[in-house]
Amino acid sequence: MPKTDNLNNYDIPQTMRAIVLPEPNEAINLADVEMPVPDCADNELLVKVEYVGLNPVDGYFAKTGFCKWQYPHVLGLDAVGVVVKAKKGVFPNVGERVMWHANIGEQGALSEYTKVANFAVSVVPDALNPAIAATLPCAGMAALISLDKINISEGDTVLIEGGSGAVGQFAIQYAKQRGADVFVTASKRNHKMVKQLGADAVFDYNDKKLCEKIRRELGPQGFDAVIDTIGGDTTLRNIELMRFCGRIACLNPLPSFDQDLMYHRAPNISVVSIGGAWLANSLCAQQRLSFMGNLLLEGAVNSDIKHPDITPVDFSAESVSQALNKQLAGGFTGKQIVKVAR
């Protein structure tokens, strides 16, 4: 039997189960392993993980690798769990349930225990199902950052590209709360869902006459702002649909820009990077993750925002691998949540 430390009635083992990426691979082959429970620095919390939310970025980097990772690497950036160890005087306290978006440059959260900086977490209200809380961090924070980048205010027209994805779903709801007129692209099967979230007009992104139909609905002025969750040629098309000096927030790599397009549109282009808060070693940006987490949790508790539909995933390498491949295949509109705690 492993030795345990008893602290506030929590028995903390020396080892734990974890799901790791042995090395980047196209099939996203993962492994179930036993590894040491992490040691914590003075400002870090040891958390017993309950739920982990899977994101497209998890699958993407599982295939390609990430420059800051050492292997085997524990995946998982969005998590909810209970604090089981913390230095005296450090908040949140032992026994508090917390939610966070993890440091992309360090080990992830798909393990029975993990460590996280205390200033980057948000305390989950007792009234909220922790599985729902696990749907919020990455997608919700990306939506909030995007809306701040494009400075949405009442009366603005905004196009949300890929509105049926998790980021798009949050962006629609928060854009409507700020008084914007919201235009959305989505596949036909998801039009009803995004309308229920508040979209004023929805277009099929597979429609060959998409731009023509948008201009017919919008008029000649162009969008005040765009949230572009797709990237590539879609970004170029969206800039063309914007008014002169319009604003666009891009969540994926930028394309090569045609200089004529830049000249006659003069767009204000912003890049959204949640992981950059950690990679830039910016304490203010990391604390902002906590503030945004508080806002998302408040919205979920008060039913001011609707979370994406949850698909449960078993805590096993095979199940997580299948889930990440499913997500990258496209067409998935909910959030896949791994239940870790037994």
pLDDT in tens, 109-140: 999 999 999 999 999 999 999 999 999 999 99
CA neighbor of 319 nearest in space, from 311, 307, 308: 311
Using alpha carbons, list the distances in angstroms from residue 224 to 6, 124, 140, 191, 239: 57, 35, 22, 22, 10
Left (φ > 0), alpha (ψ -120 to 50) or beta: where does 65 sit? Answer: left
As to burial, measured by CB atoms within 10 angstroms (0-12 exposed, 13-18 middle, 19+ buried), residue 301 is middle
Quick one: pLDDT at residue 8? 58
Our measurement of the distance from residue 194's CA atom to the centroid of its chain's CA atoms, rounded to an integer in Å, reads 18
Query: Does the pLDDT value for residue 226 go beyond 50?
Result: yes
- The domains of the chain, with CATH numbers, are 5-135+275-339 (3.90.180.10), 140-271 (3.40.50.720)
Q: What pTM was computed for the model?
A: 0.94
The reported pLDDT for the residue numbered 5 is: 41
Asked if pLDDT for residue 148 goes beyond 50, the answer is yes
**CA proximity to 139, closest of 171, 110, 106:** 171
Nearest to 108 by CA among 3, 35, 189, 166: 35
State yes or no: pLDDT of 31 exceeds 50: yes
